[in-house]
Amino acid sequence: MLEGAEEFPLPPGYYGIDSLLVLIAFMVLARLKSVESLRSCAPGEWGKLLGLDRIPEVRTLREKIALLTGLPV
């Protein structure tokens, strides 16, 4: 999953492409149907799964996904 991650450029920031892709994979495994459903989850607990102190806010996650897909925010 992370082999081709270098081909998706993101501006420098705290959350890299690897942590975003792993977060999305965990969301699928947890059967979360939308990014909005992360609002009801504890960001610190999910961050521990990724090796971070917390996961990005929903707004930040939406912006990063829009950058990856090339769609407007």
The answer to whether residue 5 sits within a structural domain is no
Q: Is the pLDDT of residue 17 over 90?
A: no
The answer to whether residue 2 sits within a structural domain is no
Domain hosting 41: range is: 10-69
What's the mean pLDDT in 58-73? Answer: 85
Closest by Cα among 24, 10, 34, 9 to 55: 24
What pLDDT, on the 0 to 100 scale, is given for residue 12?
Answer: 80
The answer to whether residue 40 sits within a structural domain is yes
Count: domains in the chain:
1
Q: Is the pLDDT of residue 54 over 70?
A: yes
The answer to whether residue 35 sits within a structural domain is yes
What pLDDT, on the 0 to 100 scale, is given for residue 4?
Answer: 64
The answer to whether residue 58 sits within a structural domain is yes
What pTM, to 2 d.p., does this model score? 0.81
Q: Tell me the residue length of the chain.
A: 73
Distances (CA, A) of 31 to 11, 14, 25, 35, 57: 29, 26, 10, 11, 18
Q: Pick 10 or 65 by higher pLDDT.
A: 65
The answer to whether residue 51 sits within a structural domain is yes
What pLDDT, on the 0 to 100 scale, is given for residue 5?
Answer: 63
The answer to whether residue 3 sits within a structural domain is no
